[in-house]
Structure 1
Amino acid sequence: MSKNAGLNAIEITFLRLSLGLTQAQVAELSKASENDVIAWEAGEKPVSGLAEKKLLEIDEIIEMQVLNTCDGIEELFKQEPKRRLSFVVYPTQAVYAQYNPEFLGSLPLTELYSTSAWRIKKECKLVLEVEVTLVALDVEAYKAYREKEGLKESREIRAKWAATQI
């Protein structure tokens, strides 16, 4: 028996759904056609090794981000006890790409970043008893905030802006 039997139709479907991706996005990521993805999910064709590898890799990257972020939040709260946080999520792929070029290799789609934020939110609530609010980046409001405060663009400043939105 093979050590790695591969994902079956149900598993590939639920992995895709857990990542918040459409069949078209999976096709794009795996360099396959949307019809191929539909066939994999219907059990009509075996799942492409590349698709399986890419989706499992992305899921692992997200899980590592959740673990690392939650560990960082736990450390922060040991020094400064708070119970509310906010995370910025991005309304479109263009806005995500503009503000997060460092994540485009590991999480190439805004949906994946949002999935990561959602999993962090759930983990923070369950494990750390911390309320996390996901705040969609409003580019104009964010720029106005930076101008008013005399701040440059950075992840930390986006986080501060998001905190003003809850």
Structure 2
Amino acid sequence: MRTIMSKNTGLNAIEIQCLRQSLGLTTEQVASITKASNEDVMAWESGEQEAPIPAQKKLLEIDDIIEMQVLNTSDGIEELFKKEPKRRLAFVVYPTQALYTQYNPEFLSTLPLTELYNAAAWRIKKECKLVLEVDVSLVALDAEAYKAYRADNGMSESRESRAKWAATQL
């Protein structure tokens, strides 16, 4: 879906639209991320305007960050399976921006929207199924159920605690 970006050649209208859709974003969210108007984004996607190179680069950078997360996570899962063979995993995803922000402050600079984190989780799920033959379930975080689980098991808040809770939801 990407073209090689030179000085004069960027993404065309359909490539901008496909990139936005692959990130799971609305035109309003792309406008917010690129500091453009929603009308501008719609004009980019219809071919009425060319998307500014900085906006294109921002979207491609986000896509690259997600791809790096997919590769790093898939590599980590592959290593884990060498030690402890499993064929089912659960990943926590966040149904709202507020929950994402509360539980993932460390990711806000790289993936500022829940949808981007969830797009990464979806790509990890596909990669694990295709390459590692592992079924990954995406489990929406239920904050109250998760807090109760932590209390019942004497656990502190951590990514590992969320992963253990998610595994109980399978």
TM-score, scaled to structure 2: 0.95
Structure 1 unaligned segments of length 5 or more: list them.
none
Residue number among 55, 58, 68 corresponding to 1:54 in the alignment:
58
Note if 1:28 corresponds to 2:32. yes
Name the CA distance, whole Å, in 2 between partners of 1:135 and 1:146. 16
The alignment partner of 1:141 has SS state of helix
Name the CA distance, whole Å, in 1 between partners of 2:15 and 2:80. 37
Structure 2 unaligned segments of length 5 or more: list them.
none
Structure 1 residue 48 displacement after superposition? 1.6
**CA shift digits 1:40-98 (9 cap, x unpaired):** 00100111222201110000000000000000000000000000000000010000000
Name the CA distance, whole Å, in 1 between partners of 2:168 and 2:148. 13
CA RMSD, Structure 1 to Structure 2 (Å): 0.9
Name the CA distance, whole Å, in 2 between partners of 1:58 and 1:79. 32
1:9 corresponds in structure 2 to 13
Note if 1:135 corresponds to 2:139. yes
Amino acid at match of 2:157: E
| Moved segments of 4+, more than 6 Å | none
1:146 corresponds in structure 2 to 150
2:75 corresponds in structure 1 to 71
Amino acid at match of 1:80: E
1:97 corresponds in structure 2 to 101
Identity level (%)? 73
The alignment partner of 1:153 has SS state of coil
Residue number among 59, 80, 86 corresponding to 1:82 in the alignment:
86
The alignment partner of 1:81 has SS state of coil
